[in-house]
């Protein structure tokens, strides 16, 4: 309710009640919003898959103006839902989420008479880099129904959607998961009203992932990975430190620093050198290797083992993480391997896995899931920003989370 109020202040036209909210609170979610916002158009994202008529009737009677049906529902469900919508004076919106042939299905639904077609990439799909915007242009030229677009829209993608032909822009996370909902809404509003002013360069997936990893914390990432990925007993050697990059790995042994130093020359700019050494008494890494790494453009170093020359490491300022610090170094003997699969801080690390370190410690994100985890961790961060804001306003954490209500029931 509070978020809706702030979004209205920011200039939204319609209020969409999301599916998880409806599943949590039932039709009361719609009733309450209707009571509190009598003048606003209310969209009930029912994601109807069956019993079209019954579910449209429920939502319409609770106060919805627009009811969402799944585009993948059988035509019989769509037609029945449409009849109920006409009977109760509401509009039917069909959601193209996960539709195998979205353009063809949009045309069919338009012919059946659906009022609004929602070109939508779901939240889980967005995490893998899918966006609805490219489809808007293709579908807009083929149908008469109004076109809505949804799926991770921000100022830029909202503007691009309008320019491509969208009539309705649905924005969730980039409004509701912010610490200033009114301000976030105003920005989206401005961009929807003046789409030509929002032509920022679109980042490619690698650039976007790196930017996200720089913005989020290792706790955000650990949450997004369901508590997997954190290295054990690995601590930062610097305060206020941040490291992001793909791994180059080193397997080495107690008292031998040859391979760790060879890895500096093999690493590419932006790599994080991840070393398994296994000794907390003899350091395979120190100040000279740190300066050499800085000169090569290496993003940071993680050692499952000890490091030395802490004052020099601090002066050089390259992010270094290790289990301990000791004065002893070993010798260059030459055992071990560069770019083997290693175990570091209890985590498997292969070359190319993403390594993120900050004052909390280090997490490893498998290369094949790195983009998705960066996106999911950003969502965790946004949700936390909102929670921080609510605590600042005086709520307690357990009240805000409704902890008792959501504890596991026996």
Ligand X SMILES: O=C(CO)[C@H](O)[C@H](O)COP(=O)(O)O
Tell me, residue by residue from 206 to 235, as one string, x for binding to ligand X by CB under 6 A and - for no binding. Answer: ------------------------------
Q: How far is the CB of 172 from ligand X (least distance, A)?
A: 2
Binding string, residues 110-139; x marks residues near ligand X by CB under 6 A: ----------x-xx----------------
Given candidates 10, 18, 246, 284, which one binds ligand X under the rule CB under 6 A?
Answer: 18
- Sequential DSSP letters for 55-120: HHHHHHHHT-SEEEEETTS-HHHHHHHHHHHHHHT-EEEEE-TT-SSHHHHHHHHHHHT-SEEEEE
C-alpha to C-alpha distance for 67 and 83, rounded to whole angstroms: 12
- β-strand 354-358 against 361-365: which pairing, if any? antiparallel
358 touches ligand X by CB under 6 A: no
> Residue 90 has which token pair?
């509401």
Residue 62 as a binder of ligand X (CB under 6 A): the answer is: no
Of 43, 46, 150, 238, the one binding ligand X (CB under 6 A) is 150
| Binding residues with ligand X: total (CB under 6 A) | 15
| All residues at 6 or more sequence positions from 1 whose CB lies less than 8 Å from its CB, including other chains | 32, 33, 36
Residue 237: how many other CB atoms lie within 10 Å: 21
Q: Within 13 Å and on the Cβ side, how many CA atoms surround 285?
A: 37
Which residues are CB-contacts of 63 (< 8 A; sequence separation ≥ 6)?
Answer: 30, 31, 33, 34, 35, 42
Q: Which stretch binds ligand X (CB under 6 A): 30-38, 146-154, 341-349, 368-376?
A: 146-154
| Smallest separation (angstroms) from ligand X to the CB of 196 | 22
In the bound complex, what is the minimum distance in angstroms from residue 121's beta carbon to ligand X?
7
334: left (phi over 0), alpha (psi -120 to 50) or beta: left
- Counting other chains too, the contacts that 203-206 makes at CB distance below 8 Å and 24 or more residues apart are 205/129, 205/371
The least distance separating ligand X from the CB of residue 367, rounded to whole angstroms, comes to 26
Minimum CB separation of residue 68 from ligand X in Å reads 8
Cβ of residue 101: shortest distance to ligand X, in angstroms?
20
Q: Does 170 bind ligand X (CB under 6 A)?
A: yes
Binding mask 172-191 for ligand X (x = CB under 6 A): xx------------------
Q: Which two tokens stand for residue 362?
A: 């280090």
Q: Does 10 participate in binding ligand X (rule CB under 6 A)? A: no
Could you tell me the smallest distance in angstroms from the CB atom of residue 151 to ligand X? 5
| Residue 153 within binding range of ligand X, rule CB under 6 A | yes
Least CB distance to ligand X at residue 177 (A): 8
Contacts of ligand X in 23-52 (CB under 6 A): 45
Residue 152 touches ligand X, criterion: CB under 6 A:
yes
Question: CB-based burial of residue 389 (10 Å sphere; 0-12 exposed, 13-18 middle, 19+ buried)?
Answer: middle
**Contact positions vs ligand X (CB under 6 A):** 16, 18-19, 45, 120, 122-123, 150-153, 170-173
């Amino acid at each position: 309710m509070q978020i809706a109020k702030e979004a209205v202040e920011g200039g939204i036209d319609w209020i969409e009640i999301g599916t998880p909210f409806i599943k949590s609170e039932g039709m009361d979610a719609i009733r309450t919003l209707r009571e509190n916002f009598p003048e606003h158009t209310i969209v009930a994202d029912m994601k109807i898959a069956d019993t079209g008529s019954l579910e449209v009737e429920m939502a319409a009677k609770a106060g919805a103006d627009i009811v969402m049906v799944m585009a993948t529902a059988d035509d019989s469900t769509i037609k029945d839902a449409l009849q109920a919508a006409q009977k109760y004076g509401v509009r039917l919106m069909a959601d193209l989420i996960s539709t195998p042939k979205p353009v063809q299905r949009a045309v069919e639904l338009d012919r059946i008479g659906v009022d609004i077609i929602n070109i939508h990439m779901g939240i889980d799909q967005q995490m893998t880099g899918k966006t609805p915007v490219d489809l808007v242009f293709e579908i807009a030229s083929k149908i008469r129904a109004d076109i809505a677009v949804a799926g991770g829209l921000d100022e830029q993608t909202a503007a691009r959607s309008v320019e491509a032909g969208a009539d309705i822009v649905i924005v969730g996370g980039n409004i509701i998961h912010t610490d200033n909902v009114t301000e976030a809404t105003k920005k989206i509003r401005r961009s929807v009203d003046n789409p030509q002013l929002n032509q920022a360069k679109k980042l490619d997936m690698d650039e976007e992932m790196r930017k996200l990893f720089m913005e989020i914390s290792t706790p955000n990432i650990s949450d997004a990975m369901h508590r997997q990925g954190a290295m054990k007993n690995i601590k930062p050697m610097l305060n206020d430190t941040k490291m992001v990059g793909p791994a180059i790995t080193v397997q080495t042994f107690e008292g031998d620093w040859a391979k760790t130093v060879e890895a500096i020359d093999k690493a590419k700019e932006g790599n994080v050198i991840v070393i398994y050494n296994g000794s907390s008494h003899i350091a395979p890494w120190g100040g000279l290797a740190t300066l050499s790494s800085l000169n090569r453009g290496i993003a940071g170093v993680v050692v499952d083992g000890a490091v030395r020359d802490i004052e020099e490491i601090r002066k050089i300022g390259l992010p270094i993480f290790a289990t301990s610090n000791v004065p002893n170094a070993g010798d260059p003997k030459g055992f071990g391997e560069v770019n083997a699969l290693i175990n570091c801080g209890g985590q498997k690390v292969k070359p190319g896995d993403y390594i993120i370190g900050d004052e909390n410690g280090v997490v490893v994100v498998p290369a094949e899931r790195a983009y998705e985890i960066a996106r999911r961790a950003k969502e965790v961060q946004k949700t936390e920003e909102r929670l921080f804001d609510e605590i600042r306003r005086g709520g307690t954490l357990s009240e805000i989370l409704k902890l008792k209500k959501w504890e596991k029931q026996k």
